[in-house]
Amino acid sequence: MGGHPISTPSTPVHSTLDLGLLLKHFRGTLDLTQADISGLANTGNRFVIELERGKETVQLNKVFDVLEVLGLEMVIQPKRSF
């Protein structure tokens, strides 16, 4: 991990699948494997696999650990109306 902040526009997440795909994307941009993430986040590799696949019953505290490793944060805000 280069330690460089990721600068991207915010991306709405409406499902666990959205979240999983987004985390998988960011993992790829950092050139990290699922095993790398599981080691750095102190969680099992199976958890990372299930998170990226959109499993609906993952432990939220572990999700925050993965977000931290990826240099990401969760922001809750009102929906934008279009």
**Quick one: pLDDT at residue 8?**
62
Instruction: Return the residue matching tokens 């499993």.
Output: 55
Each residue of 37-73: pLDDT tens digit? 999 999 999 999 999 999 999 999 999 999 999 999 9
Domain ranges within the chain, ordered by starting residue: 16-70
Class of domain 16-70: mainly alpha
Q: Which residues contact 79 (CB under 8 A, 6 or more apart)?
A: none
